[in-house]
Amino acid sequence: MSTRPTDTDGDSDDVIVVRGLRNSFGEQVVHDGLDLDVRRGEIYGVVGGSGTGKSVLMRSIIGLQKPQAGDIHVLGEPTIDRPETEMVDLSKRWGVLFQGGALFSTLTVAENVQVPLREFYKALPQSLLDEIAAYKVVMSGLPAEAGPKYPSQLSGGMRKRAGLARALALDPEVLFLDEPTAGLDPIGAAAFDELIRSLQKTLGLTVFLITHDLDTLYAICDRVAVLADHKVIAVGTIDELLATDHPWIQEYFRGPRGRAASASVDHAAAKEIAGTES
């Protein structure tokens, strides 16, 4: 486990590199000297108390929030102070699922998925837009019949999947997810976790995942970064994090909910082994 990145430039295989990030709103300092590195092909979880700046961090990385200081590179390219046209080209290479899905309520699911396609590839014929949207809808685990429905006609879990279908519209290399399982029941959340894991494997995605969901952290994250004191105070596998003596980390992962999440992963692993052996 590392508490800070070991070099200043990041590894060439790092898809996201943040150095010396500072964000503040008036007197309130959110980040100060924050560093992180996300490796290609990993699911990188980000946790921290409420208000520690997880969403502001994600918004900074994708260029929606201009930091006071720092360097950010995604896929080897800077995201701070880029000319808009260059930023548009870069942003085609990632997909974002915001908290709450952020779907357009007056558009159907299929039309929502087509929004980024229309924005970036204006000349695509409608037949092709329809075909791509239908494919992304099914890829996100929705029935094909969900395409012509409006967000208000879907359950919370289906709306998340619709948001995911839109995030996947441009075949991204990196997927940013902000609290994807918030508001889902445990079964729906576990199914969504599985979907993320399987998409990450089959599409070779790198995933930056903000979550409060301990089950998600245990089930699918390769490494987890902990935000506190305005920076990433520790990053590693959950076992590595458990070996630290930071009080917040201990309380978070060893508290009753952390123990329950750990037990449920152990139980799932035992069932899988039993299934393989029978």
Ligand X SMILES: Nc1ncnc2c1ncn2[C@@H]1O[C@H](COP(=O)(O)OP(=O)(O)OP(=O)(O)O)[C@@H](O)[C@H]1O
Residues that bind ligand X (CB under 6 A): 25, 30, 48, 50-56
Burial class (CB in 10 A: 0-12, 13-18, 19+), 109: buried
Helix (H), strand (E), coil (C) string for 85-98: HHHHHHHCCEEEEC
Spatial separation of the C-alpha atoms in residues 138 and 132, rounded to whole Å: 10
Residue 20 beta carbon to ligand X: minimum distance, rounded to whole angstroms: 18
Residue 22 beta carbon to ligand X: minimum distance, rounded to whole angstroms: 13
The two tokens of residue 104 are 């357009």
Cβ proximity to ligand X: between 100 and 188 the closer is 100
Cβ proximity to ligand X: between 56 and 234 the closer is 56
Residue 55 beta carbon to ligand X: minimum distance, rounded to whole angstroms: 4
Cβ proximity to ligand X: between 140 and 252 the closer is 252
Residue 256 beta carbon to ligand X: minimum distance, rounded to whole angstroms: 20
Residue 97 beta carbon to ligand X: minimum distance, rounded to whole angstroms: 14
Element of type H or E holding 136:
helix 126-139
Spatial contact of 175 and 202, defined as CB atoms under 8 Å apart: no
Cβ proximity to ligand X: between 138 and 182 the closer is 182
Spatial separation of the C-alpha atoms in residues 241 and 249, rounded to whole Å: 7
**Cα–Cα distances in Å, from 139 out to 42, 50, 121, 202, 225?**
20, 32, 21, 11, 28
Cβ proximity to ligand X: between 55 and 108 the closer is 55
**Cα–Cα distances in Å, from 49 out to 1, 12, 34, 213, 230?**
21, 31, 16, 12, 11
Residue 53 beta carbon to ligand X: minimum distance, rounded to whole angstroms: 4
Cβ proximity to ligand X: between 46 and 165 the closer is 46
